[in-house]
């Protein structure tokens, strides 16, 4: 791009609130939803809907974290990345480790997952060999990202979002219509009836599984699923660079109140958008399962994760009319490209801003952009190398949340205590982040070796550490968060207190609180309550 500035390339410029909302939504929606969420719907019904009913969590980003990030932008005199915050609040080493952790997360949960599920989608829909589809998606996205930057991602998000929403609901309604022999309401009732008989009669139409005899209880024990989903959601929506970058890019050279108003309203819009994926992908997966049980052209073995992960592509192929199928397929490909492009852009941002620029100051903007692109290529290659391991770790969406449960606790503890406590010391934050991440990675290694705790392991080490490698993943996640918080509090008693400058960075002045108050009105509150009420209604229906 002629005359490109690295800040514009990496962050983009101020956009209207509805574009911000669409960009946040599109950054979240990727092939893990097109394939994985529909697959978990076919296999486990609404068991994993907790991770999608998190529009209320995005409100925390807009109402609570946007003012903090904007305050830090003003204090530091630049648009911050998440590692910038940790470097300032804790230690430079803490911020560097966050960059490492985030890039590792992109390898494990973003690039590999998106490429894998893109390959599945193209295989079931177009009949392409799996690896052709996966690598082809990466090549297309790479070209788009190199020449488009964040501005291109934002533009593509705005274009593909309406196609994605309309196309997915067409799949839902036409699928229900087919299931109900011409009646959508009858199709819904039939879907619910079939899914209630799944899993030995325990059903897949409720979000909480409290009976130990339920086949889904070992995976989603009782109410631990809600708390585990909240931990992951808090990390993802409020502290992950991939999402927060959509907000940070709106903070350039404008009045604080104007910036916060636009970013907050964008997050509220994203909260409403976030209510849609359950109906766009998860419930169509349930419809696909119901159709497979009633003699349709869709055939599915619920015990075969490859089959269930192909549920949505099978619906598109068998449900939509030919012309509409083409348009919807294009929209879905745009969604895959936008999602993967956002990951690519965030990788470039993290590496360039937090590693390379501090070491190589004074280089040209074109040089920094080139370095960011090279870093992205490395992450992509690592993601492809991880894919064969990932393919042996069960249902896609379950795998994704399992990996995130190992990364999220450290992030949540460090960010929350760093913002809300003035007594947590720099070294406490540093060791909380590093220690929590290393424990999570050890657990990941044991998951690979023991088939996520299901294998029978002999030997002194395995027999004496069953509490570590066999504990349910959601319960392990909750206890890991508690452990990190307690560890940080204890370390704070024995290490130097944060400096006055670090404390002032998270302290709102009276003038700044006034600007925050001026940034919202009654309709912002009403719209936010609407998101919360809709989430509550979903929980009530599928309790």
285-304 per-position pLDDT tens digit: 999 999 888 876 666 655 56
Kindly tell me if the per-residue pLDDT of 527 is higher than 80. Answer: yes
- 534's CB contacts (< 8 A; 6+ apart) are 55, 272, 275
Rounded CA gap, 301 and 395, in Å? 13
β-pair partners for 209: 221
Q: Which two tokens stand for residue 331?
A: 């929209």
* Residue 108: alpha-carbon gap to chain centroid: 12
Handedness of CA 411, 413, 416, 422 (dihedral sign): negative
Kindly tell me if the per-residue pLDDT of 62 is higher than 80. Answer: yes
β-pair partners for 221: 209
Domain count, the chain: 1
Mean residue pLDDT of the chain comes to 83
Cα 94 to Cα 353, 421, 441: the distances in Å are: 15, 17, 17
* Per-residue model confidence (pLDDT) at position 396: 78
Query: Is 452 contained in some domain?
Result: no
* Per-residue model confidence (pLDDT) at position 11: 45
Rounded CA gap, 9 and 376, in Å? 14
Question: Residue 260: which domain range?
Answer: 6-391
Query: Is 130 contained in some domain?
Result: yes
Rounded CA gap, 542 and 278, in Å? 12
Query: Is 438 contained in some domain?
Result: no
Contact 526, 439 (CB under 8 A): no
Q: Per-residue pLDDT tens for 470-503? A: 899 999 999 999 999 999 999 999 999 999 888 8
Query: Is 434 contained in some domain?
Result: no
Which of 346, 267, 341 lies closest to 98, judged by CA? 346
Rounded CA gap, 504 and 116, in Å? 45
The alpha-carbon radius of gyration of the chain (Å, integer) is 23
The counts of H helices and E strands in the chain are: 29, 0
Handedness of CA 65, 157, 306, 45 (dihedral sign): positive
* Per-residue model confidence (pLDDT) at position 149: 54
Query: Is 248 contained in some domain?
Result: yes
Kindly tell me if the per-residue pLDDT of 1 is higher than 60. Answer: no
Strand intervals (E) in 318-374? none
Q: Is 366 exposed, middle or buried (0-12, 13-18, 19+ CB in 10 A)?
A: middle
* Per-residue model confidence (pLDDT) at position 302: 56
- Only one residue has tokens 């890019």, namely 249
Kindly tell me if the per-residue pLDDT of 2 is higher than 60. Answer: no
Q: Which two tokens stand for residue 87?
A: 């470097």
Rounded CA gap, 106 and 92, in Å? 21
Q: Collapse the DSSP code of 16 into the 3-class scheme (helix H, G, I; strand E, B; otherwise coil) and give the result.
A: coil
Contact 385, 113 (CB under 8 A): no
Q: Which two tokens stand for residue 383?
A: 């993601």
- Only one residue has tokens 């991602």, namely 153
Query: Is 34 contained in some domain?
Result: yes
Cα 16 to Cα 8, 27, 260, 356: the distances in Å are: 16, 16, 12, 31
Contact 136, 116 (CB under 8 A): no
Rounded CA gap, 205 and 192, in Å? 7
Helix, strand, coil: what percent of the chain each, to 5?
A: 75, 0, 25
Q: Phi, psi at residue 209, to the nearest 5°?
A: -115, 100
Average pLDDT over residues 525-534: 95
Rounded CA gap, 462 and 469, in Å? 8
Query: Is 93 contained in some domain?
Result: yes
Kindly tell me if the per-residue pLDDT of 387 is higher than 50. Answer: yes
Handedness of CA 15, 21, 24, 25 (dihedral sign): negative
Kindly tell me if the per-residue pLDDT of 9 is higher than 50. Answer: no
Cα 335 to Cα 34, 224, 534: the distances in Å are: 9, 32, 25
Average pLDDT over residues 7-22: 64
Rounded CA gap, 297 and 508, in Å? 61
pTM metric for this prediction: 0.85
Q: Collapse the DSSP code of 334 into the 3-class scheme (helix H, G, I; strand E, B; otherwise coil) and give the result.
A: helix
Contact 276, 165 (CB under 8 A): yes
Contact 251, 4 (CB under 8 A): no
Name the pLDDT band for 329 (thresholds 50, 70, 90).
confident
Rounded CA gap, 24 and 32, in Å? 16
Got the DSSP string for 132-187?
HHHHHHHHHHHHHHHHHHHHHHHHHHHHHHHHHHHHHHHHHHHHHHHHTTS-HHHH
Q: Per-residue pLDDT tens for 414-467? A: 999 998 888 999 999 999 999 999 999 999 999 888 888 888 888 888 888 888
Rounded CA gap, 82 and 102, in Å? 10
Most confident of 14-18, 99-103, 142-146: 99-103
486's enclosing H/E stretch is helix 473-492
* Per-residue model confidence (pLDDT) at position 254: 62
CATH number at residue 118: 1.20.1730.10
């Amino acid at each position: 791009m002629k005359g490109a500035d690295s800040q514009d390339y990496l962050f983009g410029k101020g956009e209207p609130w509805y574009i911000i909302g669409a960009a946040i939504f599109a950054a979240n929606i990727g092939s893990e939803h097109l394939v994985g969420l529909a697959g978990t719907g076919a296999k486990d019904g609404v068991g994993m809907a907790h991770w999608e009913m998190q529009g209320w969590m995005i409100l925390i980003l807009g109402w609570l974290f946007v003012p903090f990030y904007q305050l830090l932008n003003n204090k530091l005199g630049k648009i911050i990345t998440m590692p910038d915050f940790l470097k300032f609040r804790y230690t430079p080493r803490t911020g560097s480790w966050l960059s490492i952790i985030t890039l590792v997360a992109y390898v494990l949960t973003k690039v590999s997952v998106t490429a894998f599920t893109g390959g599945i989608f193209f295989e079931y829909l177009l009949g392409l060999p799996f690896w052709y589809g996966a690598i082809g998606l990466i090549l297309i996205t790479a070209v788009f990202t190199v020449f488009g930057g964040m501005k291109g991602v934002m533009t593509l998000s705005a274009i593909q979002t309406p196609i994605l929403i309309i196309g997915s609901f067409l799949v839902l309604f036409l699928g229900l219509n087919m299931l109900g022999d011409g009646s959508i309401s009858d199709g819904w009732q039939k879907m619910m009836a079939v899914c209630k008989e799944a899993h030995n009669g325990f059903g897949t139409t409720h979000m909480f599984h409290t009976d130990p005899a339920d086949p889904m209880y070992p995976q989603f024990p009782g109410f631990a699923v809600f708390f585990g989903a909240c931990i992951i959601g808090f990390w993802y929506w409020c502290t992950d660079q991939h999402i927060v970058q959509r907000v940070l890019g709106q903070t350039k050279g404008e009045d604080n109140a104007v910036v916060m108003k636009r970013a907050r309203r964008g997050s509220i819009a994203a909260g409403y958008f976030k209510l849609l994926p359950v109906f766009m992908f998860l419930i169509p997966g349930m419809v696909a399962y119901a159709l497979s049980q009633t003699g349709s052209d869709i055939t599915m073995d619920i015990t075969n994760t490859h089959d269930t992960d192909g549920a949505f592509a099978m619906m598109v192929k068998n449900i939509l009319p030919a012309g509409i199928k083409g348009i919807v397929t294009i929209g879905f490909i745009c969604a895959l490209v936008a999602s993967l492009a956002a990951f690519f852009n965030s990788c470039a941002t993290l590496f360039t801003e937090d590693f390379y620029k501090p070491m190589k100051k004074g280089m040209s903007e074109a040089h920094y952009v080139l370095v960011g692109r090279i870093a992205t290529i490395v992450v992509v290659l690592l993601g492809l190398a991880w894919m064969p391991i990932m393919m042996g770790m069960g249902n896609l969406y379950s795998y994704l949340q399992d990996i995130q449960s190992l990364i999220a606790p450290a992030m949540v503890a460090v960010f929350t205590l760093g913002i809300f406590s003035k007594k947590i010391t720099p070294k406490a934050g540093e060791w909380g982040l590093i220690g929590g991440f290393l424990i999570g990675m050890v657990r990941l290694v044991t998951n690979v070796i023991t088939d996520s705790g299901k294998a029978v392991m002999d030997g002194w080490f395995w027999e004496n550490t069953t509490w570590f490698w066999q504990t349910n993943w959601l319960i392990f996640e909750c206890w890991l968060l508690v452990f990190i918080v307690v560890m940080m509090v204890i370390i704070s008693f024995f290490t130097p207190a944060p400096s006055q400058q670090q404390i002032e960075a998270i302290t709102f002045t009276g003038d700044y609180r006034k600007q925050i108050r001026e940034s919202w009105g009654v309709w912002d509150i009403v719209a936010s309550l609407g998101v919360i009420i809709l989430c509550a209604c979903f929980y009530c229906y599928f309790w």
